[in-house]
C-alpha cells in the first residue's frame, strides 16, 4: 500500500506541512514584511539543506554548465516568483480567496502545456478533477465576498499560477536527473539569490529574532521567541514540505501533483478553524468536500501525461 501510493503520501504530507505553516506565518507577518519573510524562508532552508546534502552526498549537487540556466530559471520562477505574485495580489487588496483560486489554476496551465506543446494526451477525468477542485476552492474561499478587481493584483495572482506551473513542469523534467534533495537545494539557492538582490541582508530586521510573539486562538496562553517561529518556518514550513512535494512529483508527474496540491488551502482553512477560531460556513464545508472529490478524480487518471 505504501509503495503503491507513495507519491500521493508525499504530496499530502507536503500539503500538511505547508498549510500548518500558514498559521505560523500569520503570526510572523504582524512583525515582518512578506518579502522579508520570503527571503529568510528561502535563505534559511537553502543554507541548512545545502549543508546536509553537501555532507551526505555532495556529488548529487553537481550540474553541467548547460544545465545552469535551467536551474536558475527553476529557482527564480518555480520558487521566488510564486511567492512574489502571491504577495503582489495581496498587496493590491485582491481578496485572499481570489488570489488563492487564481494561483491554483496552475493545473490548467500544466495540462494545456502538456496537451498543446508536448502533444501528450490528457484524460477527460483530469479536466473533470481540475474543474471540480477549482469550484470547490471558490466555495471554500467565498470569492464573492468583498470582490475587487485590481489589474496589477490580478496579474500578480495569475503570474503566481504560471510560476507554480513552471515549478511542477521543470521540476518533473529535472527529477529524472537528480534527487529531490538536490533539486530543492538548487531551487532554494537561486530563489535566495533573487531575494538577496532585491532586499540586501544588512537591512534585515534582526531584532525580530529576540522578540516574544504572543500566540492566538487555542494557543493564546503561550508566547514564543521570534527565532523559534522562524526556525519552524524554515525547517518544517519550507525545507521539509518542499522535499515531500518534489519527491511526490518525481513519482506522479506535474499534472497530478499540482491537483493534489489543491489540498493545501483546504488543510490551511482547517488548521485556521481549529487553532485560531476561523470557522467555516456550510458552503465552505461543501467546497472542501468538492475539492477532495476533484483531487480523487484527478488522481485516478493514468500517468500518460507525464513526459519522460
Q: What tens digit of pLDDT does each residue of 197-218 get? A: 999 999 899 999 999 999 888 7
Is it the case that residue 141 has pLDDT exceeding 90? Answer: no
> 72 in a domain, yes or no?
yes
> 35 in a domain, yes or no?
yes
> 50 in a domain, yes or no?
yes
> 33 in a domain, yes or no?
yes
> 215 in a domain, yes or no?
yes
The packing angle between helices 240-252 and 151-174, to 10°, is 70
Is it the case that residue 264 has pLDDT exceeding 60? Answer: yes
Q: How confident is the model at residue 146 (pLDDT cuts 50, 70, 90)?
A: low
pLDDT of residue 223: 94
> 244 in a domain, yes or no?
yes
> 15 in a domain, yes or no?
no
pLDDT of residue 308: 36
Is it the case that residue 36 has pLDDT exceeding 90? Answer: yes
Q: Which domain holds residue 294?
A: 22-55+64-305
Q: For the chain, what is the domain count?
A: 1
Residue 143: CB atoms within 10 Å? 18
pTM comes to: 0.90
pLDDT of residue 85: 92
Is it the case that residue 298 has pLDDT exceeding 50? Answer: yes
- CA 31, 33, 37, 43 dihedral sign is negative
What whole-number distance in Å separates Cα of residue 230 and Cα of residue 124?
43
> 10 in a domain, yes or no?
no
Which distant-in-sequence residues (6+ apart) come within 8 Å of 99 by Cβ?
86, 89, 90, 153, 157, 160
pLDDT (mean) for 120-134: 91
Amino acid at each position: 500500500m505504501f509503495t503503491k501510493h507513495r507519491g500521493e503520501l508525499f504530496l499530502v504530507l507536503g500539503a500538511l506541512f505547508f498549510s500548518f505553516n500558514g498559521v505560523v506565518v500569520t503570526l510572523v507577518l504582524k512583525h515582518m514584511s512578506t518579502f522579508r519573510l520570503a527571503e529568510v524562508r528561502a535563505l534559511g532552508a537553502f543554507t541548512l539543506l545545502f549543508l546536509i546534502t553537501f555532507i551526505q552526498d555532495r556529488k548529487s549537487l553537481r550540474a553541467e554548465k548547460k544545465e545552469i540556466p535551467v536551474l536558475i530559471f527553476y529557482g527564480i520562477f518555480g520558487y521566488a516568483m510564486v511567492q512574489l505574485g502571491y504577495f503582489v495580489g495581496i498587496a493590491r487588496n485582491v481578496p485572499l480567496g481570489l488570489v488563492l483560486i487564481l494561483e491554483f489554476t496552475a493545473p490548467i496551465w500544466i495540462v494545456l502545456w502538456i496537451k498543446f506543446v508536448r502533444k501528450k494526451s490528457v484524460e477527460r477525468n483530469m479536466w473533470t478533477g481540475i474543474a471540480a477542485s477549482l469550484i470547490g476552492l471558490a466555495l471554500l474561499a467565498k470569492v464573492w465576498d468583498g470582490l475587487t478587481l485590481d489589474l496589477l493584483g490580478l496579474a500578480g495572482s495569475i503570474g503566481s499560477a504560471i510560476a507554480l506551473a513552471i515549478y511542477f513542469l521543470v521540476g518533473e523534467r529535472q527529477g529524472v536527473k537528480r534527487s529531490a534533495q538536490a533539486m530543492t537545494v538548487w531551487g532554494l539557492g537561486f530563489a535566495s539569490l533573487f531575494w538577496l538582490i532585491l532586499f540586501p541582508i544588512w537591512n534585515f530586521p534582526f531584532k525580530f529574532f529576540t522578540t516574544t510573539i504572543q500566540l492566538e486562538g487555542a494557543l493564546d496562553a503561550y508566547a514564543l521567541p521570534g527565532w523559534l517561529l522562524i526556525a519552524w518556518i524554515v525547517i518544517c514550513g519550507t525545507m521539509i514540505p518542499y522535499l515531500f512535494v518534489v519527491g511526490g512529483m518525481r513519482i506522479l508527474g506535474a499534472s497530478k501533483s499540482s491537483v493534489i496540491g489543491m489540498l493545501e488551502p483546504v488543510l490551511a482553512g482547517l488548521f485556521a478553524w481549529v487553532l485560531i477560531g476561523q470557522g467555516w460556513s456550510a458552503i465552505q464545508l461543501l467546497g472542501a468536500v468538492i475539492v477532495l472529490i476533484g483531487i480523487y478524480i484527478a488522481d485516478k487518471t493514468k500517468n500518460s501525461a507525464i513526459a519522460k
